[in-house]
């Protein structure tokens, strides 16, 4: 008498459990699609997608390109810092807490990778420096020689007594502004815009390409005493070098699980570059 009722009750309980499990699974699947990672002011129209990725590449890249080219003429690079500060601000202005985690603004659980990232940044600068010296010596076809002009504008004519002091000042600046700003935007925000559609590897190739092309303003399109000039072979080598460097920055982000890894790798590279400029090129 009770067997059919018991069997029916057990079937109903099993069905309810399966329904709950299915609902939980459906929630996990749809949650990333429905959750907004942007602040309320922007959540109705902004998304992590390639269209916004391209928009921010152009929004950041074009003004920076123009400002840096102008600074190469005037010798005044003060306004370039404003671009880096804008890169700092945008992720915090646009994204909520979960959105910032999505792009890599989070603590790393692998603290040992941070020192590794910094040392790797120091190390990868060495072949870039040696390649420039080996191919082009102390001419302006050497990327570090040309970039050193952005340092020398604010330096005294005789560095012999104050070289270390200015090295420290310029090192601190170069290890803060561009590493934090560029990593938040390129390896962070812009990368995340492409990652959902193309995956992390292809997204890294896209943000690295944008990063490398933007650096043509720093070297490749040159302003010399005879006017504007374009050096195609040195420029191509410089773009390939900055693309490869960018991929290493991304590797450090992946290895550390945080943008802290890529920021420290970038800072290490800039420190080594500043050292080579002050103690070899400007010596």
Domains of the chain, residue spans: 1-34, 46-281
Q: What pLDDT was estimated at residue 79?
A: 83
Q: Could you give the percent of the chain with pLDDT greater than 70? A: 87
Q: What pLDDT was estimated at residue 265?
A: 98
Distances (CA, A) of 184 to 95, 139, 188, 256: 12, 33, 5, 15
Q: What pLDDT was estimated at residue 17?
A: 53
Say what the pTM is.
0.86
Q: What pLDDT was estimated at residue 61?
A: 96
Q: What pLDDT was estimated at residue 16?
A: 44
Q: What pLDDT was estimated at residue 9?
A: 53
Average pLDDT of each block of 10 consecutive residues along the chain (283 residues)?
A: 50 50 47 72 95 97 95 85 93 97 94 96 98 97 94 79 94 96 98 97 98 97 92 98 98 97 98 97 88
Q: What pLDDT was estimated at residue 30?
A: 43
């Amino acid at each position: 008498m009770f067997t059919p009722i018991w069997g029916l009750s057990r079937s109903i309980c099993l069905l309810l459990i399966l329904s709950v499990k299915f609902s939980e699974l459906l929630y996990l699947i749809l949650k990333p699609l429905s959750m907004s990672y942007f602040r309320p002011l922007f959540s109705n129209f902004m998304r992590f997608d390639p269209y916004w990725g391209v928009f921010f590449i152009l929004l950041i890249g074009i003004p920076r390109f123009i400002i840096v080219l102008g600074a190469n003429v005037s010798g005044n690079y003060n306004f370039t810092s404003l671009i880096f500060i804008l890169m700092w601000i945008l992720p915090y202005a646009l994204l909520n807490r979960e959105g910032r985690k999505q792009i890599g603004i989070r603590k790393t659980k692998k603290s040992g990778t941070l020192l590794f990232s910094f040392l790797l940044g120091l190390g990868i600068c060495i072949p870039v420096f040696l390649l420039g010296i080996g191919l082009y010596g102390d001419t302006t076809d050497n990327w570090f020689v040309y970039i050193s002009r952005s340092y020398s504008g604010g330096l005294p004519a005789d560095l012999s007594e104050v070289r270390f002091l200015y090295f420290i000042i310029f090192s601190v600046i170069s290890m803060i502004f561009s590493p934090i700003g560029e990593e938040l935007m390129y390896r962070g925000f812009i990368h995340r815009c492409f990652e959902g559609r193309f995956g992390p590897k292809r997204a890294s190739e896209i943000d690295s390409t944008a990063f490398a092309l933007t650096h043509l303003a720093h070297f490749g399109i040159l302003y010399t005493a005879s006017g504007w000039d374009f050096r195609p072979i040195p420029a191509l080598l410089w773009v390939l070098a900055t693309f490869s460097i960018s991929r290493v920055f991304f590797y450090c982000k992946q290895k550390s699980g945080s943008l802290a890894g890529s920021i420290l790798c970038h800072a290490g590279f800039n420190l080594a570059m500043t050292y080579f400029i002050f103690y070899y090129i400007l010596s």
